[in-house]
Amino acid sequence: MKIIVTDNYEQASLEAFKVMKGVVVKKPNAVLGLATGSTPLGLYKNMIEDHKENGTSYKDVVSFNLDEYVGLPRDHKESYYTFMHTNLFSGLDILEENVHLPYGNTKEDCDAYEKAMEDYSVDVQLLGIGGNGHIGFNEPGTPFTETTHIVELQERTRVDNARFFDNDINQVPTHAITMGIATIMKAKKVLLIATGENKADAVYAMIKGEPTVDCPASALQNHPDVVVVLDKAAASKL
């Protein structure tokens, strides 16, 4: 794992942007694995600015998102479909037909997403990390062998995400569809961003702990090309 520790969120977003831009410039038809959450927002802002100012083009880029809530219509304001269109896709020249997000709640929906990914090889998979060490929505206990599947969200994850749902946990969906850890591990490169003190324990377990299902992100220790971008707070327990 290559670990980059920066002073703050803005710098972490900039370091992550350099990695992402490097991939897209080298390979204009790159396949990007994308993530939601508050963490990648700074990176996405940098990508949009760079596209507008320097003309970096995404017209041949293909994207696959990590996860989506079960039970929210795609046009719900907190669906990850809406999040991605609002915070990234609308600011780039990426083509709608090249954008993929998982959707649904059945095994068939999961298998269809895996099948859609089969024809591609993800060049860089962007990840955030949950306070409990989850990646995508792979909660602690998820076998590393899982592919796209339906998960029941843990209490901590729903509490963490309640801030997007009027701080009302009852509005937070109970289930999600997510790429599995085996799906994530197929990416050629992984770029994980973590900032803030509430990620410090998860970051420690990911990097210094034994690879164990108790910390899903620790699976990344077995991946040959991982860049972890942290701020000082998230790196404080290393």
Residues that bind ligand GLP (CB under 6 A): 35-39, 66-67, 128-130, 136-137, 157, 161
**Nearest to ligand GLP of 33, 94 (CB atom):** 33
Q: Which of 48, 35, 43 is nearest to 84 (CA)?
A: 35
Active-site hit among 15, 68, 123, 139: 139
Which residues, 6+ apart, have CB-to-CB distance to 214 below 8 Å?
133, 140, 141, 205
**DSSP annotation of 64:** E
Give the shortest CB-167-to-ligand GLP separation in angstroms: 14
Give the shortest CB-55-to-ligand GLP separation in angstroms: 29
* 139 is a catalytic site residue: yes
**Nearest to ligand GLP of 36, 46 (CB atom):** 36
Active-site hit among 15, 46, 65, 132: 132
What is the dihedral angle through the alpha carbons of 16, 20, 21, 27, rounded to the nearest 10 degrees?
Answer: 160
* 100 is a catalytic site residue: no
Cα–Cα distance measured from residue 169 to residue 84, given in angstroms and rounded to the nearest whole number? 22
Cα–Cα distance measured from residue 35 to residue 113, given in angstroms and rounded to the nearest whole number? 16
Active-site hit among 46, 51, 65, 67: 67
**Nearest to ligand GLP of 33, 56 (CB atom):** 33
**Which positions are annotated as active-site residues?**
67, 132, 134, 139
